[in-house]
């Protein structure tokens, strides 16, 4: 082959290697041009270091990508709190700056002064270090100073554990830091949703999990755990037979948190188990808590070991093998769940945090006995391990997230407002107390109040004659309810609200009696909800007595689990309620289910409503009493074998008794009453078509057979097979009033 002058002959293999070499040189040039991310991690106390240390180790393990700077401040540098900066040095981290920022005093003013002192000292440090990003943790006042300084100096901030809720001033500080931060590494899905609801940009939120879980999930199965337990608690202590106690002050209610601390110590003394108790943190109130501890002789007590600091790796072992953990530390609601260790959370400091089933809340820790009972319930239990706060892979996610940060992108936030659900958890009061309702029955004769528990049992009942005037009636009602509430405390019943059953037409939405029956005088256009709620400080529900009877059947009686049914009350009057698709039917003007005023005759007797031919005019107790008196006045009631005293008032019972003894006149009256009631119920079956009819009231058992017979003869064939039963409930009005409370007030969240 002839070569052209000036051309070069290059072997294909040589060309390939030449290109590879050029590519390598180009990549090396790019890597040299790519700046390492300068990350400053600032730690303020022993608690946040346990979360930050795994990240610091991760950053240190990648020196080609990250440059680590460590700033130490806060209680790390105070002797009373263990001089915990030494454990950072023992972990072989170079501390670039130590800032003494704590103003002693352990009160609110000292906390504010400490924030101010930190803000004075931090600018020089941050200006010297010039980090690309500052990593801050949590909700401490020290961290707020860090975030404020960095934000004002245009330093990007990565905030750990934002979006959580704990119920104290920590919430305000944590959310303030979140608003200052540019990036977020949160622990739970709910925290992520909270951050989104707080307008944070979703693209800058990482659902990482808790970094401390990376360490505790991999290291809490150490073989030498018994050596660690014995070194802190003594040689005689056994696994699962000791308690870890850690209680911090609540800065928004210092005196109350000190009181709870004293009650906790009393309960622990009474419980008589070996206890490892850690000193509280540096928040306002901690000095007073230490005084309480020393006054009770805890440091000298043989059952207690009081310590200022425990290395995190050893603390993991102690918590994971404890019989119980008690206090208000976030460790109890977070890390302890990973081991299934039973936890008793005292007071309000962690209110709102997501917890596993291992946590028992004692928010109203107002008695020694309540805390002691919680210890009895929790000590020695084991729960399933929970990974709500992490799966052990938080650090790799956070490092990956740091690598994606583009320092050339401006730090402009976007905003959105999605809905966020609250979490539900256990409460000691729900275990120790019986959830109950205060039920009121305003009858024509008697005013009755009862404490009714969740299962429908009447714990205690109060009965008084119903006064004739409005003012007397309201005064008596409020007095009876107040007495019942006082007794409920002694009976260990937690009253959730008040339900009122009354005659007449009721607007349940407003709690107002619109029009009453003739039996209750001065009882129209009456607002019942407002005065009762104002006096008792409880929610109040009000409804018609017939509707209440239907509600009682739905919750406690034959109507339980039945989608469509009708209740017919056969008493002094005739009433009832209609349940359709599991809901009570009220009607557009709250006049639905006035079953006693269904007309069954155009020429019938006059009814109490002013009309003629209503079911009530035939079949009610008043109608039967009227007919009994008519027969008695005509000397047509009494028959052989019937015992009647001269002074005895004539009632419906005399009419029924006379019919049973063969009185044809009395029997004819009762047949007409039963027919009227049966025809009325047939009308109901043809209009509403329920699957069940429940007869309630004193006359129910007498009317059952005749009504069934009339339905089988006169109703349409398609409804003849509908079941008719008598109620088994002794107090339908009271139980129905209670059911309104128990169905609505128990939708309770924490």
State the Cα angle at 730 between 727 and 733, rounded to 5°: 90
Q: What are phi and psi of 65, to 5 degrees?
A: -110, -30
Q: Considering the candidates 545, 635, 667, 728, report the single residue annotated as catalytic.
A: 545
Question: Which among 129, 122, 114 has a CA at the least distance from the CA of 146?
Answer: 122
Task: Write the DSSP string, 574-594.
Answer: EEEEEEETTEE---TTS-TT-
| Beta-bridge partner residues of 462 | 449
616 annotated ligand-binding residue: yes
- Strands, E assignment, 516-639: 526-527, 540-544, 565-570, 574-580, 583-584
E strand intervals along 85-207:
95-99, 133-137, 156-160, 183-186, 205-207
Catalytic, 364? Answer: no
Closest listed residue to residue 620, CA positions, set 628, 720, 631: 628
| Cα(402)–Cα(135) distance, integer angstroms | 10
Using CA atoms, how far residue 65 sits from 34, 195, 729, in Å, is 9, 29, 75
Measured CA to CA, the distance from residue 683 to residue 568 in angstroms comes to 13
Tell whether residue 597 is among the known ligand binding residues. yes
**Tokens 């404890």 — which residue?**
322
Q: In sequence order, what are the beta bridge partners of 460?
A: 451
What's phi and psi for 724, nearest 5 deg?
A: -120, 125
50-61 as b/e, with b when 16 or more CB fall inside 10 Å? Answer: bbbbbbbbbbbe
- Decide: 123 and 71 in contact? Cβ < 8 Å: no
Q: Are 730 and 457 in contact (CB under 8 A)?
A: no
Asked if residue 385 belongs to a known ligand binding site, the reply is: no
Sheet of strand 574-580: strand arrangement: 583-584, 574-580, 565-570, 692-696, 723-726
Is 713 marked as binding a ligand?
no
Tell me if residue 307 falls in helix, strand or coil: strand
- Cα 301 to Cα 587: distance, rounded to the nearest angstrom: 69
> Which tokens go with 70?
């460590």
- CA-closest candidate to residue 576, choices 692, 672, 696, 699: 696
- Residue 614 assigned ligand-binding role: yes
Q: List, in sequence order, every residue forming a beta bridge with 66; answer none if it has no partner.
A: 37
CA-CA distances (angstroms) from residue 78 to 209, 249, 277?
Answer: 30, 18, 19
Q: Residue 17 contacts by C-beta under 8 Å, 6 or more apart in sequence?
A: none
- Is 517 among the annotated ligand-binding positions? yes
The closest of 298, 279, 287, 297 to 258, measured between CA atoms, is: 287
Encode burial over 411-441: b for 16+ CB neighbours within 10 A, e otherwise.
eeeeeeeeeeeeeebbbbeeeebbbbbbbbb
Binding residue per annotation — 199? no
Q: How far is 329 from 336, CA to CA, in rounded Å?
A: 10
Binding residues for Zn(2+), as ranges, are 597, 607, 609, 614
Catalytic residues, by residue number, are: 545
- The binding site for an N-acyl-D-mannosamine comprises 505, 517, 545, 594, 597, 616
List the binding residues. Answer: 505, 517, 545, 594, 597, 607, 609, 614, 616
């Amino acid at each position: 082959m002839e070569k052209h002058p000036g051309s070069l002959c290059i072997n294909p293999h040589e060309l390939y290697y030449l290109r590879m070499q050029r590519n390598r040189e180009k990549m090396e040039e790019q890597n040299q041009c790519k700046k390492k991310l300068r990350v400053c991690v600032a730690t303020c106390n022993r608690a946040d270091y346990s979360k930050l240390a795994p990240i610091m180790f991760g950053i240190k393990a990648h020196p080609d990508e990250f440059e680590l700077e460590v700033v130490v401040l806060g209680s790390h540098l105070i002797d009373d709190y263990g001089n915990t900066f030494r454990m950072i040095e023992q972990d072989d981290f170079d501390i670039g700056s130590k800032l003494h920022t704590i103003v002693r005093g352990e009160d609110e003013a000292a906390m504010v002064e400490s924030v101010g002192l930190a803000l004075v000292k931090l600018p020089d440090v941050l200006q010297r270090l010039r980090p690309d990003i500052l990593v801050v943790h949590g909700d401490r006042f020290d961290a707020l100073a860090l975030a404020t300084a960095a934000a004002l100096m245009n330093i990007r901030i990565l905030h750990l554990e934002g979006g959580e809720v704990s119920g104290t001033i920590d919430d305000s500080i944590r959310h303030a830091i979140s608003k200052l931060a540019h990036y977020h590494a949160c622990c739970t899905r709910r925290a992520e949703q909270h951050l989104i609801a707080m307008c944070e940009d979703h693209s800058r939120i990482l659902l990482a999990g808790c970094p401390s879980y990376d360490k505790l999930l991999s290291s809490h199965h150490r073989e030498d755990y018994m050596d660690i337990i014995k070194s802190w608690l003594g040689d005689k202590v056994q696994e699962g037979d000791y308690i870890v106690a850690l209680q911090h002050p609540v800065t928004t209610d210092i005196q109350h948190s000190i009181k709870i601390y004293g009650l906790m110590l009393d309960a622990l003394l009474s419980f008589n188990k070996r206890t490892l108790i850690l000193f509280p943190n540096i928040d306002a109130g901690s000095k007073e808590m230490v005084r309480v501890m020393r006054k009770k002789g805890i440091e000298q007590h043989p059952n207690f070991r009081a310590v200022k600091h425990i290395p995190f790796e050893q603390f993991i072992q102690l918590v994971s093998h404890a019989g119980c953990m008690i206090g208000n530390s976030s460790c109890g609601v977070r890390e302890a769940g990973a081991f299934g260790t039973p936890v008793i959370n005292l007071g309000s400091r962690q209110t709102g945090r997501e917890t596993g089933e291992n946590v028992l809340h004692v928010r109203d820790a107002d008695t020694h006995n309540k805390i002691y009972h919680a210890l009895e319930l929790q000590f020695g239990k084991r729960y399933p391990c929970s990974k709500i706060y992490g799966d052990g892979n938080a650090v790799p996610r956070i490092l990956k997230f740091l690598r994606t940060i583009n320092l050339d992108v401006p730090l402009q936030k976007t905003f959105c407002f999605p809905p966020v659900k609250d979490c539900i958890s256990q409460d000691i009061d729900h275990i120790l107390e019986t959830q109950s309702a205060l039920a009121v029955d305003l009858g024509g004769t008697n005013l009755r109040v009862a404490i009714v528990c969740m299962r429908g049992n009447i714990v205690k009942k109060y009965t008084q004659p119903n006064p004739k005037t409005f003012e007397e009636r309201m005064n008596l009602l409020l007095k009876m309810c107040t007495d019942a509430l006082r007794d409920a405390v002694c009976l260990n019943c937690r009253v959730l609200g008040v339900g009122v059953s009354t005659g007449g037409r009721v607007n349940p939405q407003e709690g107002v009696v619109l029009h009453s029956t003739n039996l209750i005088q001065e009882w129209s256009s009456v607002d019942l909800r407002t005065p009762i709620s104002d006096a008792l400080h409880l929610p109040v529900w009000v409804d018609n007595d017939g509707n209440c009877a239907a509600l009682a059947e739905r919750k406690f009686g034959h109507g339980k689990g039945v989608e469509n049914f009708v209740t017919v009350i056969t008493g002094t009057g005739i009433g009832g309620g209609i349940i359709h698709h599991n809901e009570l039917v009220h009607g557009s003007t709250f006049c639905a289910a006035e079953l006693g005023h269904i007309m069954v005759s155009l020429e019938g007797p006059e009814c109490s409503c002013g009309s003629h031919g209503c079911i009530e005019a035939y079949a009610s107790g008043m109608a039967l009493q009227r007919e009994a008196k008519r027969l008695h006045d005509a000397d047509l009631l009494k028959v052989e074998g019937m015992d009647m005293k001269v002074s005895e008032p004539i009632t419906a019972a005399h009419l029924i008794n006379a019919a049973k003894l063969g009185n044809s006149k009395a029997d004819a009256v009762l047949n007409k009453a039963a027919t009227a009631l049966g025809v009325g119920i047939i009308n109901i079956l043809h209009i509403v078509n329920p699957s069940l009819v429940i007869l309630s009231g004193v006359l129910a058992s007498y009317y059952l057979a005749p009504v069934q017979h009339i339905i089988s003869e006169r109703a349409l064939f398609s409804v003849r097979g509908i079941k008719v039963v008598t109620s088994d409930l002794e107090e339908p009005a009271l139980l129905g009033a209670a059911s309104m409370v128990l169905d609505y007030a128990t939708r309770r969240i924490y």
